[in-house]
Amino acid sequence: MKNYIFFYLALFVLTVGPILQTRAQAVFKGTVDPALQIDSIELMYATTQAQIGKIFTLGIPRTCKVENGRFQMDFPEAPGVFYLLISPNRSKDPDVARIFSPITLHNIRMGNSDTLDLRIAQKGISPGRGSSRSIKCQMDLIELNEKNIQQRIELYRSYRLEEDTVNLSERALKFFSDHRKFYDRWENQIRKIVKEDYSDLPKETADAIMYNKIGKARAMEIANFGLKVERGSGGLRLMARKYYLEHYLGQKRDTSLLAYPGGAPDYTSFLYMKVVYDLLVAQDLVERNMAIQLPPVLAVIEKRFKGQLYDEVAFAAFLDRASRKYVDQKTYSILTSQIQTPEFRDYIVQQRDRSTEGSKFFQYELPNEYGRTVSNRDLLGKVVIYDFWFTGCHGCADLSKSMEPIKAHFKDNPNVVFVSISIDNEEDVWKRSLKSGNYSHQGDTNLWLGKLSDSHPMILHYSINSYPTQIIVDADNRIVAMNPPDVRKSGEEKAFVGMVQQALDKYK
């Protein structure tokens, strides 16, 4: 009898034991039509809230190889929830770009046992039978997004408010009303798909998926209105502003907020974006050229949101604004004292320690256009203005032009150096742009981050996710300011010069 017991025990250990020890893992897999000639698929993998909030630039890049029309990548190390952003591997084929375009604009939320199974063909991308239910739900919502974007284009074309000003007042009010109803209907469609077609999903998963897509749709709604207020023609701009004040300002349109449980980064980003546009419309109302800096944004967020929701929205504001605007010590103090979520607070402290005045600048060795290596050591004893840019960035070209008076002001001072750092991933593209004179000037030190591009450790160290970005460094290789005054805006040139001059005066 004992022999039988030992036999079955051994059999259990050999067969069932390994199954119990096998941990479920997330999988990205699928098939590709060979005619598309796609040899790999690029992924941005995001696990932390900072990465998820800025997945295009802070996500971890992964390359999934396509072999014999099939691909697969496992994520055994994935935490409970993570996000993927998917795109073809730098394909220049317009058909491939068209096929991938719907999915490249959407983060895919995945659990650590989910399977994302895709069928990539000439007619488009669809979920395979192996996809988890939560993935199929998200793919259905992406399809809905594409249909509604086309309907939105048709709505705009039908009114032609900018071109046809006949009966503008009456037609504009009708358009604003139809525009509002259109997005209300879109939100209801999202809710119906999640709550009826995928009612079997766990509540936490369903809520996160639903609110992410509602957030994306509502962000488009607010952005479109904001453009009318900021850039619309005189009469149309005034009517858009009045309508916004009556129907959108504050939390008048945030009906879904009442039941929002948190945990949906796209919806949180919408709530932050709504605060910014409320401030922009208020600014337009009083006709003051008030720069929308982080402190007033945080002040409104504090009044509107409490607890965990305040933490999420304030952190979204920090991720966006700190990448483009100077953040002073007082603002850092507000953030670190009011935000209670450890992950958010730790990230903010890390960014403060890396980028605030007096912090040591990142140590680097980079090639210039002649192939010579340049490092921080070569620039010790000089005040350095770093400018990060890429080819095709209109704001980068505008900043370069606006910097001409600054460079003229310091042209006879050998202790001021202007360093242009390109994130272009192709060397020939970078060098052609240097020759064009659109992004750099004679006398600048021109450096290239190489094939790493925006995944270079320097970019990741400072979480640079918006271009152009400037950093001023003093003669001891310590930061004076990250995102100093933007000289593209009137009145900021004097502040910028003063900041550089102050750094120079320290060593007189």
Mean pLDDT calculated for residue range 315-334: 88
Burial per residue of 18-38, b for 16 or more beta-carbon CB atoms within 10 angstroms, e otherwise: eeeeeeeebbbbbbbeeebeb
Judge whether residue 47 has pLDDT over 50.
yes
Residue pair 243/175 in contact (Cβ under 8 Å)? The answer is no
- Helix, strand, or coil (residue 45): strand
Helices (H), 403-484: 404-409, 427-436, 457-461
Give the pLDDT band (50/70/90) at residue 322. Answer: confident
Tell me the pLDDT tens digit for each residue of 417-459.
999 999 998 999 999 999 999 999 999 999 999 988 888 999 9
pLDDT at residue 13, as a whole number: 43
Output the DSSP codes for 316-372: HHHHHHTTTS---HHHHHHHHHH---HHHHHHHHHHHHHHSTTPBPPP-EEEBTTS-
Burial per residue of 283-300, b for 16 or more beta-carbon CB atoms within 10 angstroms, e otherwise: bbeeeeeeebebebbbeb
pLDDT at residue 286, as a whole number: 59
Judge whether residue 111 has pLDDT over 70.
yes
Mean pLDDT calculated for residue range 270-293: 79
- Total number of residues shown for the chain: 508
Give the pLDDT band (50/70/90) at residue 15. Answer: very low
User: Sheet of 81-88: strands edge to edge?
Assistant: 60-65, 40-46, 81-88, 108-111
Give the pLDDT band (50/70/90) at residue 10. Answer: very low
Listed residue (148, 142, 137, 146) closest to 186, CA to CA: 148
Distances (CA, A) of 400 to 100, 284, 470: 33, 28, 11
pLDDT at residue 248, as a whole number: 87
Best-predicted range by mean pLDDT among 73-77, 224-228, 298-302, 355-359?
A: 298-302
Distance CA 108, CA 84 (A): 5
pLDDT at residue 421, as a whole number: 97
pLDDT at residue 247, as a whole number: 87
Q: What's the CATH architecture for 365-505?
A: 3-Layer(aba) Sandwich (3.40)
**CATH class of the region 25-131:** mainly beta
pLDDT at residue 9, as a whole number: 47
Judge whether residue 397 has pLDDT over 70.
yes
pLDDT at residue 77, as a whole number: 81
Listed residue (399, 417, 407) closest to 504, CA to CA: 417
Judge whether residue 475 has pLDDT over 60.
yes
In the chain, count of helices (H) and strands (E)? 18, 15
pLDDT at residue 214, as a whole number: 95
Residue pair 348/318 in contact (Cβ under 8 Å)? The answer is yes
Give the pLDDT band (50/70/90) at residue 255. Answer: low
Judge whether residue 11 has pLDDT over 50.
no
Straight-line distance from the first to the last Cα atom of the chain, in angstroms, rounded to the nearest whole number: 94
Mean pLDDT calculated for residue range 163-176: 82
* Domain positions in the chain: 25-131, 134-157+169-283, 291-356, 365-505
Helices (H), 160-264: 168-192, 203-231, 234-247
Give the pLDDT band (50/70/90) at residue 508. Answer: low
Mean pLDDT calculated for residue range 464-492: 91
Listed residue (231, 190, 195) closest to 212, CA to CA: 190
Distances (CA, A) of 473 to 61, 268, 384: 29, 34, 5
Percent of the chain scored above 90 by pLDDT? 63
Judge whether residue 4 has pLDDT over 60.
no
**DSSP annotation of 193:** I
- Helix, strand, or coil (residue 478): strand
Distance CA 321, CA 292 (A): 9
Tell me the pLDDT tens digit for each residue of 185-213.
999 999 999 999 999 999 999 999 999 99
Listed residue (465, 487, 375) closest to 46, CA to CA: 465
Percent of the chain scored above 70 by pLDDT? 89
Judge whether residue 42 has pLDDT over 60.
yes
pLDDT at residue 20, as a whole number: 39
pLDDT at residue 252, as a whole number: 60
Residue pair 487/461 in contact (Cβ under 8 Å)? The answer is no
pLDDT at residue 225, as a whole number: 77
* Reported pTM: 0.82
Give the pLDDT band (50/70/90) at residue 22. Answer: very low
* Cross-strand bridge partners of residue 380: none
